[in-house]
A and B are shown apart, each in its own frame.
Chain A
Amino acid sequence: MKTGFTKLAILTTLFVSSLVFAGDYPSEPITVIVPSKAGGSTDRTARMLTEIAEKHNKGYEFVIKNIPGSGGQKGFEAINRAKPDGYTIGLVFTPQLVAHIASKRAKYNLDSFRILGNVAQDPAIVVVPKDSKIKNLGDLAKTAKENTLTVAVNGIGSDDFLAAKAFESKAGVTFNLLPTKGSTEQKAGILGGHVDAAFMNLSQMIAQHKAGDAHIIALLAKERSDKLPDMPTSKEQGYEVYMTATRGLVAPAKVDAATLDKLEAMFAKVMADDEFKAKATKGNIQLLPMTGKEYGEYLKGLQADTQAVYDKAPW
């Protein structure tokens, strides 16, 4: 299938990219691969970020390319395969990025990417139906020991699933896990009382919690969130279970380092921009700025944790 054309394309690319110097960068629009659907929260993050970046940095122009599907794997691989000329970068999300490595499905690993930094996060939560007797993580563990609790997660290998597995091992319980096709089904399960609890992300349930249609019982983080300051964390409740879905920028590893340094610095500036912060707050996106180095460390740690869960119970 891929014959002469590809070879020709590679040759041309090599020739063209050898002519590009960091000084002229960028001389053409930069493609940002978003490994999810247009209109989703990752997509919205990317569009807000690039909009502000274009506004404040002359010469930068971005094109969003959505490559949805297979839990982001298609998109992650597309970033890895992209021409290393600095004109294709991507917005990746965890834990799917490392989960695909752990389950040995990915054709990439963390070294395939130069990590440019993290942009946003969506911390994991535990949520129960509004009339549930479970009020905190202690209740959840206790009730789970007495009865079989049906707990909804968003698919096997997702952040919810990993969080639920981590809680199971810390609390010494076993849930009747219900894998769903997405947060919509989880919401319907909680609001309709079809399940006993669900592991989800904060942004997905915060409105229902505030409206009293469902109860969030814990934030699975070390620190409280300013979106919901009254909500006790898992740490406060004595369960060391932490999970968050991060969204960060990466580029193919082979790209010229000077070009990427420039790009990383530029995005760091955008992240600190007040207008960007205001837009993110309004768009229900919780920012979590991390430098490339910090985010790289975080991803390595996460990969090790995920690997441990996978090795115990592969999916």
Chain B
Amino acid sequence: MMEYISIVFQPISLFTILLGTVAGVAIGGMPGLTATMAVGLLVPFTYTMDPTMGLMLLGGIYCGAMYGGSIPAILLNTPGTPAAVATAIEGFPMSQKGKAGLALKVSVVASFVGGSFSVLVLLLFAPLLAQQALKFGPAETFLLALMGLAGIISIADENSSLIKALIAGLLGMIIAVVGTDDMSGSLRYTMGYIELIDGIDFMPALIGLFSMIQMLELAGMRKKHEIDMSALHKKQKSEPMPKGITKHIALGSGTGTVIGVLPGEGATIAAFISYNISKRISRTKELFGKGNPEGIAAAESGNNGCVGGSLVPTLTLGIPGNSVAAALMGAFIIHGMIPGPDLFNEYADRTYPFIISLFIANLVFLGVGLTVAPYLAKIALIPPAILVPVVSAFAVLGSYALNNSVFDIYLMIAFAIFGLLLKKLNFSLEALILGLILGPIAEGGFTQGMIIGKGSPWIFFESPIAKIMWVIILLLLIPPLYSYFKHTSLLKTPDAET
């Protein structure tokens, strides 16, 4: 093991990791640029590099980008990645109260702990965990999506009426139905647009619903600033981490790592499930939705926990845990390193340094986050008249660059306009995006489960894992629903004021 560590501590390696991680933070922080895209585009580039260096660069980007998504989420309510939507729910209200510095600090520390924990698990237990993950079939994937969707209820009882949040979530799932029906190969609701054959990508939706709406609202604001600036002008005292936050970081790290190992776009699910559980166990439930650092801690440690987790099945079995891991797998294959036991024997001198480099990457973004956060917090001081055109330009560019498609720009604008209308009517856009992202996972799990079960829905209750998951789903659903009906009679409109 020492020799592997020494490879990582060569100056050139350290520089590569630093470069990758800082680039990753920037990429994750920009609306429209995603880790998947960056890793995918850089894979061919690493092909001419030393394999170990190339992998370290990409690993740094992955770690950095997962954290980077939280920065604009907190400061501008424009999550750079869907996994940071839950972070925005708590982070942006904190920024508005002038507590952006603290929010950023909680986010980077939680990201660091979650990320490092998951990499440690990857290093020590990868083969064992991968075998367990294989038991997870389509039926269990369906239940995992349901667990994520249960998060809608936790969004609901603070921001909008429960019914409207559910409608928004379902609307997201319905929008996700557009495109090719995987079961029959026929096209559903595409209205002849070739761009819709693959369905509606969630990135233009994310950019439209959050970044663009935020910009449209800023542009149309009567008062120049609604943000409490006093705390930002003062020299930032380093505020201590809030008490009792360790519990939520630990919770998120564990949840994130476990969910990361499972198939599917884990980071978003992990962030929402951690956020949801954290809200249930919090002593300060009533602060959720109004800027509770505990929510940021759970969500961020959750999504960064997925980094190490997603690499477990990728490296041991060649089954990538999410789209970034899939792109990263391409980088292994291009150098002739086919995932499987070979990676840990024949190519151990590349694989282990790669895994160890992920620890360094986590340290790098911790350092970057802690030193830069106080300055970043000042982004809120940029006059909207300058901020709006710049972010809007990135929103357009990001929507286009994802699939090299102008159609996606129109889609983004459409999401912004209709999303704004829905938001004004108190429909929850967070629920909408959650439905849009988890809808295809739920549908895939459900339809494949039905086929494997030969038409019988019993398969969704059969395996021991499925039974445990149903218990968790019910635990996530019943208490909030109970308290909801207790406190607000169904027939009383909760949205008294906008």
Chains A and B touch each other in the complex, with CB atoms below 8 Å apart: yes
Do B39 and A39 touch across chains, with their CB atoms under 8 A apart? Answer: yes
Count the B residues whose beta carbon is within 8 Å of the partner chain — how many? 49
Give the Cβ gap from B106 to chain A, nearest Cβ, in Å: 34
Do B318 and A69 touch across chains, with their CB atoms under 8 A apart? Answer: no
Do A195 and B334 touch across chains, with their CB atoms under 8 A apart? Answer: no
Chain A residues with CB below 8 A from B318, complex form: 187, 207-208
A103 and B138 alpha carbons, distance in the complex (Å): 29
A-B contact count (CB 8 A): 133
Stretch of A137-145, A178-186, A258-266, A298-306 at the chain-chain interface = A178-186
Do A184 and B403 touch across chains, with their CB atoms under 8 A apart? Answer: no
Do B452 and A150 touch across chains, with their CB atoms under 8 A apart? Answer: yes
Which parts of A54-95 form the interface with B (CB within 8 Å)? 64-71, 73-74, 77
Which of B37, B184, B333, B448 has a CB less than 8 Å from the CB of A315? Answer: B184
User: Chain B, 98-141, contact with A by CB distance < 8 Å: what is the 0/1 string?
Assistant: 00000000000000000000000000000000000011111000
Q: Give the residue name and chain of the B residue nearest to A106 (CB).
A: B194
Do B138 and A44 touch across chains, with their CB atoms under 8 A apart? Answer: no
Do A283 and B182 touch across chains, with their CB atoms under 8 A apart? Answer: no
**B317, CB-defined interface residue at 8 Å:** yes
Do B327 and A39 touch across chains, with their CB atoms under 8 A apart? Answer: yes
A74 and B183 alpha carbons, distance in the complex (Å): 21
**B185, CB-defined interface residue at 8 Å:** yes
Do B194 and A39 touch across chains, with their CB atoms under 8 A apart? Answer: no
A20 and B330 alpha carbons, distance in the complex (Å): 38
Chain B residues with CB below 8 A from A282, complex form: 335-336
Do A69 and B44 touch across chains, with their CB atoms under 8 A apart? Answer: no
Q: Give the residue name and chain of the A residue nearest to B317 (CB).
A: A191
Do A192 and B135 touch across chains, with their CB atoms under 8 A apart? Answer: yes
Do B194 and A187 touch across chains, with their CB atoms under 8 A apart? Answer: no
Do B336 and A39 touch across chains, with their CB atoms under 8 A apart? Answer: no
Q: Give the residue name and chain of the B residue nearest to A38 (CB).
A: B40
Give the Cβ gap from A102 to chain B, nearest Cβ, in Å: 12
Do B326 and A47 touch across chains, with their CB atoms under 8 A apart? Answer: no
A77 and B326 alpha carbons, distance in the complex (Å): 26
Stretch of B290-298, B339-347, B385-393 at the chain-chain interface = B339-347
**A284, CB-defined interface residue at 8 Å:** yes
Chain A residues with CB below 8 A from B37, complex form: 38
Do A37 and B40 touch across chains, with their CB atoms under 8 A apart? Answer: yes
Q: Give the residue name and chain of the A residue nearest to B38 (CB).
A: A38
Q: Give the residue name and chain of the A residue nearest to B441 (CB).
A: A181
Q: Is the interface of A mostly helix, strand, loop or mixed?
A: mixed
Chain B residues with CB below 8 A from A77, complex form: 194
Chain B residues with CB below 8 A from A296, complex form: none
Which of A39, A156, A187 has a CB less than 8 Å from the CB of B44? Answer: A39
Do B197 and A44 touch across chains, with their CB atoms under 8 A apart? Answer: no
Which of B182, B330, B339, B452 has a CB less than 8 Å from the CB of A155? Answer: B182
Do A155 and B319 touch across chains, with their CB atoms under 8 A apart? Answer: no
Do B403 and A192 touch across chains, with their CB atoms under 8 A apart? Answer: no
A39 and B451 alpha carbons, distance in the complex (Å): 32
A282 and B39 alpha carbons, distance in the complex (Å): 21
Do A213 and B317 touch across chains, with their CB atoms under 8 A apart? Answer: yes
**A188, CB-defined interface residue at 8 Å:** yes
Which parts of B312-343 form the interface with A (CB within 8 Å)? 313, 317-320, 326-327, 330-331, 333-336, 338-342
A182 and B47 alpha carbons, distance in the complex (Å): 24
**B41, CB-defined interface residue at 8 Å:** yes
Which parts of B1-59 form the interface with A (CB within 8 Å)? 37, 39-41, 43-44, 47
Q: Give the residue name and chain of the A residue nearest to B331 (CB).
A: A39
A155-B185, A179-B182, A208-B318 are known contacts. Are A192 and B136 too (CB-CB below 8 A)?
yes
Do B336 and A213 touch across chains, with their CB atoms under 8 A apart? Answer: no
Do A178 and B452 touch across chains, with their CB atoms under 8 A apart? Answer: yes
Do B183 and A179 touch across chains, with their CB atoms under 8 A apart? Answer: yes
A7 and B254 alpha carbons, distance in the complex (Å): 58
**B483, CB-defined interface residue at 8 Å:** no
Which of A38, A64, A103, A187 has most chain B Cβ within 10 Å? Answer: A38
Do B40 and A184 touch across chains, with their CB atoms under 8 A apart? Answer: no
Do A157 and B185 touch across chains, with their CB atoms under 8 A apart? Answer: yes
Do B182 and A69 touch across chains, with their CB atoms under 8 A apart? Answer: no
User: Chain A, 274-285, contact with B by CB distance < 8 Å: what is the 0/1 string?
Assistant: 000000001110
Do A188 and B182 touch across chains, with their CB atoms under 8 A apart? Answer: no
Do B451 and A156 touch across chains, with their CB atoms under 8 A apart? Answer: no
Do B319 and A44 touch across chains, with their CB atoms under 8 A apart? Answer: no
Which of B43, B184, B186 has most chain A Cβ within 10 Å? Answer: B43
Chain B residues with CB below 8 A from A74, complex form: 194-195, 197, 405
Give the Cβ gap from B229 to chain A, nearest Cβ, in Å: 42
A300 and B393 alpha carbons, distance in the complex (Å): 46
Do B330 and A44 touch across chains, with their CB atoms under 8 A apart? Answer: yes
Chain A residues with CB below 8 A from B236, complex form: none
Do A179 and B452 touch across chains, with their CB atoms under 8 A apart? Answer: no
Give the Cβ gap from A284 to chain B, nearest Cβ, in Å: 6
A210 and B342 alpha carbons, distance in the complex (Å): 10
Q: Give the residue name and chain of the A residue nearest to B179 (CB).
A: A70
Do B404 and A65 touch across chains, with their CB atoms under 8 A apart? Answer: yes
Do B452 and A195 touch across chains, with their CB atoms under 8 A apart? Answer: yes
Chain B residues with CB below 8 A from A157, complex form: 185
**A237, CB-defined interface residue at 8 Å:** no
Give the Cβ gap from B399 to chain A, nearest Cβ, in Å: 14
Q: Give the residue name and chain of the B residue nearest to A196 (CB).
A: B452
**B263, CB-defined interface residue at 8 Å:** yes
A74 and B201 alpha carbons, distance in the complex (Å): 15
Do B342 and A207 touch across chains, with their CB atoms under 8 A apart? Answer: yes
Chain B residues with CB below 8 A from A189, complex form: 137-138
Give the Cβ gap from A280 to chain B, nearest Cβ, in Å: 11
Do B184 and A156 touch across chains, with their CB atoms under 8 A apart? Answer: yes
**A8, CB-defined interface residue at 8 Å:** no
Q: Give the residue name and chain of the B residue nearest to A37 (CB).
A: B40
**B289, CB-defined interface residue at 8 Å:** no
A-B contacts, 29 listed (Cβ < 8 Å): A38-B40, A38-B41, A38-B43, A38-B44, A39-B330, A44-B330, A66-B404, A68-B403, A69-B198, A70-B197, A73-B194, A156-B185, A157-B185, A177-B451, A178-B452, A179-B183, A184-B320, A185-B263, A185-B448, A188-B136, A189-B137, A189-B138, A193-B134, A194-B138, A208-B317, A211-B341, A282-B335, A283-B333, A283-B334
8 A-B pairs closest in CB distance:
A156-B185, A315-B185, A70-B197, A192-B134, A39-B330, A39-B43, A207-B338, A194-B137
A-B contacts besides A71-B197, A179-B183, A192-B134, 13 pairs, CB < 8 Å:
A38-B327, A39-B44, A39-B330, A73-B194, A77-B194, A156-B185, A178-B448, A179-B182, A188-B134, A188-B136, A282-B335, A282-B336, A315-B184
